Amino acid sequence: MPFKLLAETMDRLELVSARTQMIALLANLFKSTPPEIIDKVVYLVSGVLWPDWKGMPELGVSEKLLIKVISLACNVSESQVEQLVKNTGDLGKAAETLKGKAQVKVSLFTFTQGVSRELTVSSVYNTLVKIAQAQGEGSRDLKIRLAAGLLRDASPKEAKFIVRFIEGKLRAGIGDATIMDALAVVYGGGSAARPVIERAYNLRSDLGEVAKILAIEGLESLKRIKPEVGIPIRPMLAERHNDPKEILAKAGGIALIEYKYDGERAQIHKKGNKIVIYSRRLENITHQYPDVAEMALSNINADEVIVEGEIVAYDKDTGELLPFQELMHRKRKHDIHIVVKDYPVKVFLFDLLYLNGEDYTVKPIIERRTALEKIVRETEDFMVAKYIKTSDPEELEKFFMQAISEGCEGVMVKAIHKDSIYQAGARGWLWIKFKRDYRSEMIDTVDLVVVGAFYGKGRRGGKFGTLLMAAYNPEKDMFETVCKVGSGFKDEDLDKLQDLLKPYIRSKKHPRVDAEMEADVWVDPILVAEIIGAELTLSPIHTCAKGVLKPDAGISIRFPRFIRWRPDKRPEDATTSQELVEMYQRQLKKVAKAPVEGEA
Ligand code: ATP
């Protein structure tokens, strides 16, 4: 398949913003793709070579190296490339322009010599893989040679795409949701196939593989997909609420109430004596927790199993549970055995997803919990999450207070009716989180994505001081602005902002960003931060859920404050616009219920 088909589609995708147009363009591309290479096409349009969780090497070509590559491929000096990048603010564009000029010369050359190699999807993909796999001594030169070779054979549009891909700029470009919609159109006969594709993706976390099974074997094969040990399952997520009575009503009356531990989510896969641990973002974090792997090996009595739980740090002197931040010590690459001793952890298991050939995600929670308890041998550091079963709001509140007093964040309320399956990759009311108040009117923090930035004034002049933050709208697959946040940053956070944002800065608003205000610079929607504020408000200048609650107004946050970065979250894991609508409505109810000042 000629690579130019893909490059042209990507080029046209840059110009459209309506979701339906994006889906149509992608669907056209998929129609022209031979089924055996649909996985490669899906990876390339998503800006990756393989799913991140596979832990395969990254391309490892810095901006500086790319400038060298472009200069070699286009026969110009590096300073010429640098100048062009300065003018356009965009390496991909610079490569396109230079290739355009170079092409005129080359076509004269080929006219007389007759040599021109057409790039194919497979040849480009395979060369990119070779670039990523070049490691160790001499790899820098090899990477340069391979990349320059690719660019030499590329047309201007192809060069733009390849450069953006190598830079990592395409990662935020097209969402998985849009790709799945297009796959449903082409291979599934329309939107009815969408949930089947989504479920397969949630169980396999590999959209390329799912597309290939769909294209080659058809929808029926996708329906039969089961979890597999070693392949991470996208985690089930919870809605939030703060009224015990309503929480129980939403859960169906009676529910399982579990401690909500404040640690790191862990999906533990065990096969024989091999353990792999995946994070909330599906990263392989086994090396950070050799002690957890050991505990799982000795205390889970099953040959093939996938369980989920929370890893929590504790004080080795008092045994008290410590907050999530303490786990940061485990992030180091070397000498992990030293940190393991100084920062010990406990594991609290809360779910069973797969056991000896059987898919447990489709079973109700009580069945999952009963089977989990049967296979786990509890120790002081490895146990099943504490829980009660109740339909009484007062009992729920009491258990909540008990959880807080034991160092937890609150409780997780889980529906136990017959349809209480494990909804991989979905946020729903089967699980409801009820968290400690952050001593603010806003009951909970939200996770928002940076989409723009503003320069500071005075002491911070010339440096970023304020960020434009957005919520995710999964229906539109867009990021909608919510607020500008300029407070809550420590000086060291602000000092690091420059470098943190640099790789994601762009001259124009990203096509997946819906904003009405102008930022000083636009930023690719990649970085997620946790934000708290005084309250939610309606604002005419923000686009989050615009028009849903009031014509011409979106949802915003008054006095927003930065709390921390959330590197464990992907942009699509940010708080959704719909969640903010619900939070706003609950806030209204709370205000309505509050006694008026002066009343008895
Ligand atoms: P989310 O994961 O819902 O996007 P988040 O990462 O901001 O949100 P929280 O809002 O604090 O996290 O709540 C969900 C997380 O709580 C889960 O991802 C899991 O790591 C943790 N957790 C702790 N205890 C439990 C439990 N008993 N059941 C399920 N999750 C639990």
pLDDT in tens, 18-58: 889 999 999 999 999 999 999 999 999 999 999 989 988 88
Q: Where are the alpha helices (DSSP H) in 47-77?
A: 63-74
Give me ligand 1 centre to Cα 290, in Å. Answer: 22
Read off the tokens for 118: 């057409």
Average pLDDT value for residue range 120-124: 95
- Predicted confidence at residue 425, as pLDDT, reads 93
CB of residue 512 inside a 6 A radius of ligand 1: no
Residue 133 has pLDDT above 90, yes or no: yes
Q: Which 8-state DSSP code applies to residue 233? A: P
Asked about 490 being catalytic, the answer comes back as: no
Of 93, 143, 169, 260, the active-site residue reads 260
- Predicted confidence at residue 115, as pLDDT, reads 46
Q: At 479, phi and psi to the nearest 5?
A: -105, 120
267: helix, coil or strand? strand
- Predicted confidence at residue 600, as pLDDT, reads 33
CB of residue 546 inside a 6 A radius of ligand 1: no
Sorting pLDDT into bands at 50, 70 and 90, what band is 512?
very high
Read off the tokens for 512: 């997946």
Q: What is the pLDDT of residues 299-334, one digit of tens each?
A: 999 999 999 999 999 988 888 888 888 898 898 878
Q: Which 8-state DSSP code applies to residue 136? A: S
CB of residue 266 inside a 6 A radius of ligand 1: no
With residue 222 as reference, give the H or E element that holds it. helix 219-223
* Residue 306 near residue 296 (C-beta atoms within 8 A): no
The Cα 10–Cα 124 span in angstroms is 15
Residue 95 has pLDDT above 50, yes or no: yes
Which residue's CA is minimally distant from atom 7 of ligand 1? 447
Residue 114 has pLDDT above 60, yes or no: no
CB of residue 260 inside a 6 A radius of ligand 1: yes
Average pLDDT value for residue range 499-508: 90
Read off the tokens for 562: 């930065």
Contacts of 479 by beta carbon, 8 Å cutoff, 6+ apart: 449, 451, 470, 471, 472, 473, 510, 512, 513, 514, 525, 571, 574
- Predicted confidence at residue 190, as pLDDT, reads 83
Q: What is the pLDDT of residues 558-596, one digit of tens each?
A: 888 899 999 999 999 999 999 999 988 887 766 555 444
Atom of ligand 1 nearest to the CA of 433: 13
Mean pLDDT of the chain: 90
CA dihedral 385, 389, 390, 395 (to 10 degrees): -40
CB of residue 426 inside a 6 A radius of ligand 1: no
Average pLDDT value for residue range 282-302: 96
Mutation to probe ligand 1, out of 233, 268, 280 (largest number of atoms < 8 A from CB):
280
CB of residue 584 inside a 6 A radius of ligand 1: no
The HSE-up count of residue 12 (CA atoms within 13 Å, CB side) is 14
Give me ligand 1 centre to Cα 424, in Å. Answer: 14
- How many C-beta atoms surround the C-beta of residue 592 within 10 A? 7
Residue 487 has pLDDT above 90, yes or no: no
Sorting pLDDT into bands at 50, 70 and 90, what band is 110?
very low
- pTM listed for this prediction: 0.77
CB of residue 350 inside a 6 A radius of ligand 1: yes
The Cα 192–Cα 184 span in angstroms is 8
Which residue's CA is minimally distant from atom 9 of ligand 1? 433
CB of residue 385 inside a 6 A radius of ligand 1: yes
- How many C-beta atoms surround the C-beta of residue 243 within 10 A? 16
Helices 63-74 and 156-167, axial angle in degrees (round to 10): 160
Mutation to probe ligand 1, out of 233, 234, 236, 237 (largest number of atoms < 8 A from CB):
237
- Predicted confidence at residue 460, as pLDDT, reads 66
The HSE-up count of residue 104 (CA atoms within 13 Å, CB side) is 5
Instruction: Report all structural domains of the chain as residue ranges with CATH numbers, in order of start.
Output: 48-167 (1.10.3260.10), 237-435 (3.30.470.30), 446-591 (2.40.50.140)
The Cα 103–Cα 125 span in angstroms is 23
Nearest to 493 by CA among 407, 433, 563: 563
**The tokens 């934000």 sit on which residue?**
531
The Cα 214–Cα 200 span in angstroms is 10
- How many C-beta atoms surround the C-beta of residue 543 within 10 A? 24
Give me ligand 1 centre to Cα 23, in Å. Answer: 32
Nearest to 468 by CA among 408, 435, 509, 418: 509
